[in-house]
Amino acid sequence: MGCCSGRCTLIFICTLQLVLALERQVFDFLGYQWAPILANFFHIIIVILGLFGTIQYRPRYIVVYAVWAALWVAWNVFVICFYLDVGGLSKESNLLTFNISAHHSWWSEHGPGCVRREMPQAPGVRTTESHSYITVMGCFMDYQYIEVMHSSVQILVALLGFVYACYVVSAITEEEDSFDFIGGFDPFPLYHVNEKSSHLLLKPMHPST
């Protein structure tokens, strides 16, 4: 396959997925979103595996990447439903933090144009903090739509990766079959060389008369 083939395109898609996953992982860490953090971690590992398989012509690794791409699409659809309160889900719940903490998306307080309003604690109210958080104002876009945009981009890139992964696996399989047909592909060349050399070494010697 040439440089402008589906294989090179898949390498580019995997690289782009790594960049997007690392960017998302940073903001999920800032928001203490443990479920997305765990999902992003597995996503990064599988994408690296798919990238390695594409570079080294390992179709099995690419198949694993393709299966994960389908699962990754499903996960991001769930995230979109979560932030849009679809199907009984609620973005105000602590589902994405495994109910460990009450943190929400980092973008809920630090989105574009958002201004946090904090006031000193009222007299007679005892808390562990010196001030209490009141509200966020002036946001250009609600945080749930920012999360939906992130997930939508992930879905689009994952779908492209799935399509090109299937194409690359098919192309590699056809090339291997064609090599097998013409006898130009030997999966165990070293074994045959050693076998021939061992036969030569074990060949009986007949003394001349």
Q: Where are the domains of the chain?
A: 1-99+142-176
Q: Which two tokens stand for residue 12?
A: 């580019």
Residue 43 has pLDDT above 70, yes or no: yes
Mean local confidence (pLDDT), 185-207: 48
pLDDT digits (tens, 9 = 90+) for 53-74: 999 999 999 999 999 999 999 9
Which structure tokens are listed for 141?
Answer: 């876009």
Check pLDDT > 60 for residue 196.
no
Residue 27 contacts by C-beta under 8 Å, 6 or more apart in sequence?
Answer: 105, 106, 107
The mean pLDDT of the chain is 82
Q: Which of 73-82, 87-96, 142-151, 183-192 has the lowest mean pLDDT?
A: 183-192
Q: Which position has the higher pLDDT, 196 or 79?
A: 79
Confidence of residue 80 (pLDDT cuts 50, 70, 90): very high
More confident residue, 103 or 4: 103
Tell me the mean pLDDT in the region 124-131: 50
pLDDT over 90 (residue 166): yes
Residue 26 binned pLDDT confidence (cut-offs 50, 70, 90): very high
Please report which residue ranges of the chain form alpha helices under DSSP H: 6-30, 34-55, 59-83, 107-110, 143-182, 189-201
Q: Are 150 and 23 in contact (CB under 8 A)?
A: no
> Which residues are CB-neighbours of 42 under 8 A, at least 6 positions away?
68
